[in-house]
Structure 1
Amino acid sequence: MRNFIIYLAIFLCTLASKIAAQETVQTFEIKAKEIALKIEKITTEEKQALKELVEAVNLKLEKGTINKQQADDQKMKLATTSANNIESRLTLEEAKLTQLVKDKVEGKLAKSDTVSKHRRKSISIFYGDDPNKKDSIHKEKSERRTTSQFVFAAGFNNLVTNEQVAKSDFRYMGSHFYEWGMTYNTRILNASNLLHFKYGFSVMYNNLRPTQQRIFVENNNQTVLQASGIELKDSRFKNVNLVIPIHFELDFSKNKMKDDKPFFKSHDSFRIGLGGFAGVNLKSKQYIEFNDLSDNYVHQISKGNYNTNDFVYGLSTYIGYKATSLYLKYDLNPLFSDNTIKQNNVSLGLRFDFN
C-alpha cells in the first residue's frame, strides 16, 4: 500500500507537468522528492533484510539446531538491530530535509528553482508572391495553467476524546505537528483565477506528549496511558503518515493584463482551501528521556505497531494571505484501531505554500 501511494504521488506530479505543457527542472523540488524516496528506500531495504534474517532463524529452528526460546531471542536481537539501523539512516535524511527547508526559508537557494522550456507557436506572414520576403511573429506561451509549490506546515497537535479537546491527557504546548510535501495547483476555469485544484503528496509528523509522567503501553489490544513509575524528563509519541492531500482552492488574486491579455497569477491575495487527505502510516515511535539510578541520562526509543491504524484519512482546510495560511486538519478515523474510546488526531498551525 505504501509503495502504491508513493507511485501514485509521482504519477500525479508527472501528469501535472504534462497538463502544464512544459519541460521543467525544479532544483528545490527534486531535492525534496529525492529525500522522500530515499526514506522509503531505506525502510524497504531494512525490512527486506530483516525478513531474510528471520527466515534463516526459522530454518535453523526447523532443522532443530536451535530451540524455540533461542529462536525468539535471536529474532528479538535482529529486530532491535534493524530498528536501530533504520533510525540512524533516517536521522541523516531528516537532517538533510530540515537543512533544505531552512535554506529555502532563508533564501539561500536560487531565487528561482525552475527552468522552463515553453512551447513556441510561429506564424509566418508573406508579402506578395516572394517567399523570401516574409516576417515571422513568434508568440511565446508565458502563462502556465499548472504551477507547483513546496508545502511546509507546523503547529499544535492533540487528540479529540469524547468530541472535545478540553481536559486533554496531552500537553497543549508540548504536542505538535509538522508536515512537508509537494503540491500541484491547476487553474480550473479558462477566464477566471478564482477556482483551483491542488493535489500532491505530504509526509505528516504528529507528536503527542502525555501529562503526569505517563507513557503509552499495549494491554489486551488496547493502547492506553500508564504511569511510568519514574521521573521522566520527556515522553513523546510520534506517528508518521504518508498521504495524498486534495484541495479545492478559492484564490482571490486579481487578474492582471500583460500584452493586452489577461495574466493569471496565483498566491497573490487571500486564499481558502477545502479538502482532505488519505494515505498510510509509515511508523509509530515512543521516546522516553530520564536519569537512571546512577544519574546517567537515558534516551529510550521504542518502535512498534501500538495498535495504530495502518490507513489514515481526514479533512483539512486553510485560509490565508499569499503564501501563509492558518491550517486545520482532522483525522476521520481514530488513531488507535481497537481502543474502546475513540480518539481522533487534530492539528492547528501555520501552512506555507512556496512557489
Structure 2
Amino acid sequence: MKTIILYIAISILGIGLCEAQTIEITNRNTIELLKKQRKNIIVQEKEELKVEVESINEKLDKNEITLEEANELKEAAAKKHALNIENRVAIIDNKIALIERNEEAKVEEGQSVVFKWEEKDKKERSNYRDERTTSTIMLAAGFNNALKDGQSLNDSDFKIGGSRFFEIGWVWNTRVFEDTNWLRLKYGVSFQFNGLKPTDNRYFIEDEGLTFLEEFPTDLKKSKFRMDNLVIPVHFEFGPYKRIDHESGPTFSTYKKFKVGLGGYAGFSLGERQKLKFEEDGDNVKQKLKSDYNTNDFIYGLSGYIGWGNTSLYAKYDLNPIFQEPNAESHNVSLGLRFDLD
C-alpha cells in the first residue's frame, strides 16, 4: 500500500515538475523576445527620426520653410521620438517585471502566460510590410520620326519638331533579388501613339500595296499621319537605393535616386489614320482618312531610359519596318521624357 501511495506521489510530483519546467521555458522565451523588442524600439524610433529630419531638410532646400522653422521642427521631432522611446521601453520593462514577479505563482497554479500585446505588436509590425512588387502609371511624350537605312534626321521626310509621340501605360516593378534592390524588373502594358508630319506639302497615298508620299494639289495647313499600337514593354532597371530597416524587416526605396532602364517591347497595331486640313473654294476642309496604309501589324522594338527619381530621358526604336514589302524599309524612332508616377 505504501509503495502504491509513494508511486502516485512521485507521479504527481513529476507532472508538476514538467508543467513548471514548461512554464519556465515559456516565460524565459517571452522575456528574451521582450528584450529584443526593446532594442528594436530604439532602432525604429531613431530611423523614423532620421526620415523626418531628411524630409525637413528637403523642404528647407526647396525654400518651403525657413532655417528657424526647420530647427524648430527638428527639435520637436527629436523630443517626440525621445518620449516615444521612453514610454514604449517603460511598457516593455513593466511587462518583463510582471512576468518575473508572477512567474512563481503561475508555476504553482499550472497556468501558461499569454499576453494580448503580442497580437497588437504583430499588427504594428505589419504596417512596415515590404512589397517586393509595386505598380504605377507611366507617361511618356516627345519627338517622333521615321528613318530609312542610312538616312539621318537632316534629310528625313518628316518634320523634326512637328512629329511627336505619346505613350501611357500601367507598369509593375519587381525587385529581382530578395535582400537587395540594385536590379529591378519593370513590365506592363502601354498604348503608343506615334505621329508623323510630312515635309514639302505632302501626304500618304496607297496604290496596289505601295504606300508613299505625294505632293497635295493645294496648300496643306496640316498633314499628319498617326500609328496607334498596344505593346507589352519589359525593362531591366539598374540603380542605387536606400535600405530602411524595421522590426519586421527592411524596405527598399529608390526615391530621388539615379536609374537606368534597358529593354524592349512587343505588341500589335491598333490602326492608322491620316488628318488633312486645307482650303477649298474659300472653305476650310478637314479630312480624316482611316486605312491600314499597308503597315505591319506586329510591332516590336528596343527602348531604354536614364533618369533621376520619377523623371527620365526616354528613347525607343521600332525594329519592325513601318510598311510591308515591297515598300522601302523605314523605322519609327522616338525621343522624349518618361514619367513613372509613383
Report how far residue 273 of structure 1 moved.
0.5
AA aligned opposite 1:188: V
**Which structure features the higher share of helix residues?**
2
* TM-score in terms of structure 2 length: 0.64
- 1:305 is matched with 292
Question: Do residues 327 (structure 1) and 308 (structure 2) align?
Answer: no
In the aligned structure 2, how far is the partner of 1:289 from the partner of 1:272?
41
For 1:162-173, list aligned pairs within 5 A.
Answer: 162-166=149-153, 167-173=155-161
Gaps of 5+ in 1: 1-124
Alpha-carbon shift at residue 206 of structure 1 (Å): 0.1
Q: In the TM superposition, what are the counterparts of 1:142-153 in structure 2 within 5 Å?
A: 142-153=129-140
Q: Which amino acid aligns with 1:348?
A: L
| Residue deviations 1:143-163 (CA, integer Å, cap 9, x gap) | 111111100000000012123
The answer as to 2:223 corresponding to 1:235 is: yes
Tell whether 2:202 aligns with 1:214: yes
Over the matched positions of the two proteins, sequence identity in percent amounts to 43
> How far 1:263 moved relative to its partner?
2.0
Contact map agreement 1:198 1:249 (CA 8 A) in 2: yes
Cα displacement string for residues 157-191 of structure 1 (whole angstroms, at most 9, x for unaligned residues): 00121233331010000000000000000001111
Distance 2:135 2:227 in 1: 27
**Residue in structure 2 matched with residue 91 of structure 1 by the alignment:** none
| Mapped partners of 1:219, 1:314: distance in 2 | 28
Q: Where does residue 283 of structure 1 map in the other structure?
A: 271
> Which one of the candidate residues 304, 320, 323 is aligned to 1:317?
304
Q: Does the 8 Å contact 2:130/2:249 carry over to 1?
A: no
2:115 maps to which of 116, 131, 134: 134
Cα deviation for residue 259 of structure 1 reads 4.2
Alignment of 1:254-265 (within 5 A): 254-259=242-247, 261-265=249-253
- TM-score, length basis structure 1: 0.62
What residue identity is the alignment partner of 1:264?
Answer: F
Equivalent position to 1:188, from 172, 176, 181? 176
User: Cα distance, 1:353 vs. partner?
Assistant: 0.3
Q: What's the CA shift string for 1:230-283, capped at 9, x where partnerless? A: 100000000000000011111312223334943201343011101100001001
1:131 Cα offset (Å): 4.1
Once the two structures are superposed, what CA deviation does each residue of 1:69-100 show, in whole Å capped at 9, x if it has no partner? xxxxxxxxxxxxxxxxxxxxxxxxxxxxxxxx
| Structure 1 residues 260 and 131: alpha-carbon distance in aligned structure 2, compared to 1, 3 A threshold | closer
1:171–1:209 CA contact under 8 A, matched in 2: yes
Deviations 1:9-56 (A, max 9, x none): xxxxxxxxxxxxxxxxxxxxxxxxxxxxxxxxxxxxxxxxxxxxxxxx
Q: What is the RMSD of the two structures over their aligned residues, measured on CA atoms?
A: 1.9
Measured at CA, do residues 200 and 152 of structure 1 come closer, stay the same or move farther in structure 2, by a change above 3 Å?
A: same
Question: Which residue matches 2:280?
Answer: 292
Q: Provide the residue aligned with 2:211 in structure 1.
A: 223
In the alignment of these two chains, the number of paired residues is 230
Structure with larger Rg? 2
In the alignment, which of 319, 336, 341 is matched to residue 349 of structure 1? 336
Per mean C-alpha deviation after superposition, the further-off stretch among 128-137 and 151-160 is: 128-137
**1:113 corresponding residue in structure 2:** none
Q: Secondary structure at the match of 1:134?
A: coil
Q: CA 1:267/1:244 → structure 2, altered by over 3 Å: closer, same or farther? A: farther
Cα deviation, residue 317, structure 1: 0.3
Taking the aligned partners of 1:133 and 1:321, their CA distance within structure 2 comes to 50
CA distance, structure 1, for counterparts of residue 333 and residue 166 of structure 2:
12
**CA distance change for structure 1 residues 130 and 299 in 2, over 3 Å: closer, same or farther?**
farther
Is the CA contact 2:211–2:327 (under 8 Å) kept in the aligned structure 1?
A: no
**Paired position in structure 2 for 1:68:** none
CA shift, 1:222, in A, is 1.1
Between the aligned partners of 2:132 and 2:216, the Cα distance in structure 1 is: 55
Q: Distance in 2 between matches of 1:248 and 1:163?
A: 30
Q: Is the 8 A contact 2:130 2:250 kept in 1?
A: no
Distance 1:307 1:276 in 2: 24
- Residue 190 to residue 133, structure 1, CA distance change in 2 (3 Å): closer
- Quote the offset at 1:193 in angstroms: 1.0
Task: Tell me which amino acid in the other structure corresponds to 2:237.
Answer: E
User: What SS does structure 2 have at the residue aligned with 1:212?
Assistant: coil
Contact 1:330 1:345 in 2 (8 A): yes
